[in-house]
Amino acid sequence: MSRTRQQRMAPTVYWKKGDTAPAVSEQLLDGTGAPVVLSGASVRFHAWAEGGSAAEVDQPATITDAATGKVSYTPTAADTDTIGPYIVEWKVTFSGGAIERFPNSGNQKLIIGDSTP
């Protein structure tokens, strides 16, 4: 099935330096707004500094509901050790080997703030 390359914009995620919660959750949708079926797929959570070229976080995500395209990722302290704005994507590898990244139109934002008052 072919999907158009657009998706609703996911909300900005906010963590503070050193946070290991909350998990960030998302529902991956195709261009028609239908959930992407993730049965047999694997998903990775990627985050990189705005303007950067390499992912600073590249970790397996959890598929919480394959039929409705729901995924989540819980950060480690190492994931949140550098303050600043980041870009987030979910990289899906389907059972046949095809790869698609979400959101596939625009970028989801992540802000890691200072944990000191």
- 2 in a structural domain: no
Q: Which of 88, 13, 86 is nearest to 44 (CA)?
A: 88
Judge whether 30 lies within some domain. Answer: yes
Q: Is residue 62 in a domain? A: yes
Position 59 scores a pLDDT of 96
**Strand 108-113 to 84-93 pairing:** antiparallel
Helix (H, G, I), strand (E, B) or coil at 88: strand
pLDDT of residue 106: 78
Kindly report the pTM of this predicted structure. Answer: 0.85
* Beta carbons of 64 and 25 less than 8 angstroms apart: yes
4 in any annotated domain: no
The total of structural domains in the chain comes to 1
Over residues 32-61, the mean pLDDT reads 93
How confident is residue 107, by pLDDT bands cut at 50, 70 and 90?
Answer: confident
Average pLDDT score over the chain: 88
Contact 89, 102 (CB under 8 A): yes
> Which range marks the domain in which residue 62 is found?
20-93+107-113
Q: How confident is the model at residue 116 (pLDDT cuts 50, 70, 90)?
A: confident
Check whether 91 has a pLDDT greater than 90.
Answer: yes
